[in-house]
């Protein structure tokens, strides 16, 4: 959406105006509600408004893992860690059940949420996944496909090849 593009360019006031304009036209634009809510959360701004918008998106599409992740992240930002964990768990579970790709954001969000739920070992597992994804994003395959879009099993298989591991430290990631 226009709001997303403007937010990505750090033109936040214009982004929020674009989101608002879109919602005036269609107050039930679930994609806009979700993305607006997530943008607000990234800026740690109007978190109650963000939570309300994200909640509406989840209520409309309760099986949408992206919307569940957004709501979980906003709950985390509001320091509602227990409820945030419920929603990030649903997002991760749905993503896995469907065989969809986990985004780096899912791992980052899950790691933070699990850490603040007194589950540091599990949080570390998510952090390691982020490290693998970030490492793989830096290396393009010969036909230009990002490694981070590959299934985890395929990434792990690639990591068996010495040319992909030469600068890789399993504990700390890319050197």
pLDDT value at residue 94: 95
Q: What is the pLDDT of residues 83-98, one digit of tens each?
A: 999 999 999 999 999 9
Average pLDDT, the chain: 81
Residue 130 CA: distances (Å) to CA of 15, 18, 83, 85, 113: 28, 31, 23, 18, 14
Residue 167 clears pLDDT 80, i.e. is over it: no
User: What does the pLDDT look like over 33-78, one tens digit per residue?
Assistant: 999 999 999 999 999 999 999 999 999 999 999 999 999 999 999 9
The percentage of residues in the chain with a pLDDT greater than 70, rounded to a whole number, is 74
What separation in angstroms does the CA of 124 have from each of 57, 99, 146, 172?
A: 29, 23, 24, 11
Decide if 127 contacts 107 (C-beta within 8 A): yes
pTM of the predicted protein model: 0.75
114-118, 125-129, 146-150: range with lowest mean pLDDT: 146-150
Rounded Cα distance, 85 and 119, in Å = 11
The number of angstroms, rounded, from the C-alpha of 160 to the middle of its chain's C-alpha atoms is 27
Choose the weakest-confidence range: 7-16, 47-56, 62-71, 140-149: 140-149
For the segment 149-175, the average pLDDT, to the nearest whole number, is 52
Contact (Cβ atoms closer than 8 angstroms) between residue 57 and residue 72: no
Which pair of tokens denotes residue 110?
A: 């899950």
What pLDDT, on a 0 to 100 scale, did the predictor assign at position 122?
87
> Cα torsion for 20, 25, 31, 33, to the nearest 10°?
40
């Amino acid at each position: 959406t226009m709001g997303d593009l403007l937010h990505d360019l750090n033109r936040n006031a214009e982004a929020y105006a674009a989101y608002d304009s879109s919602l005036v036209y269609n107050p039930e634009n679930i994609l806009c509600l979700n993305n607006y809510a997530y943008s607000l959360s990234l800026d740690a701004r109007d978190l109650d408004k963000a939570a309300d918008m994200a909640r509406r998106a989840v209520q409309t599409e309760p099986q949408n893992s992206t919307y569940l992740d957004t709501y979980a992240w906003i709950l985390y930002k509001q320091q509602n860690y227990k409820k945030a964990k419920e929603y990030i768990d649903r997002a991760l579970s749905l993503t896995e059940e469907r065989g969809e790709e986990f985004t780096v954001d899912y791992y980052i969000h899950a790691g933070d949420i699990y850490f603040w739920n007194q589950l540091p070992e599990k949080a570390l597992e998510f952090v390691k996944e982020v490290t693998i994804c970030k490492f793989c994003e830096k290396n393009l395959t010969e036909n230009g496909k990002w490694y981070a879009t590959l299934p985890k099993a395929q990434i792990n298989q690639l990591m068996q090849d010495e040319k992909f591991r030469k600068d890789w430290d399993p504990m700390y990631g890319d050197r």
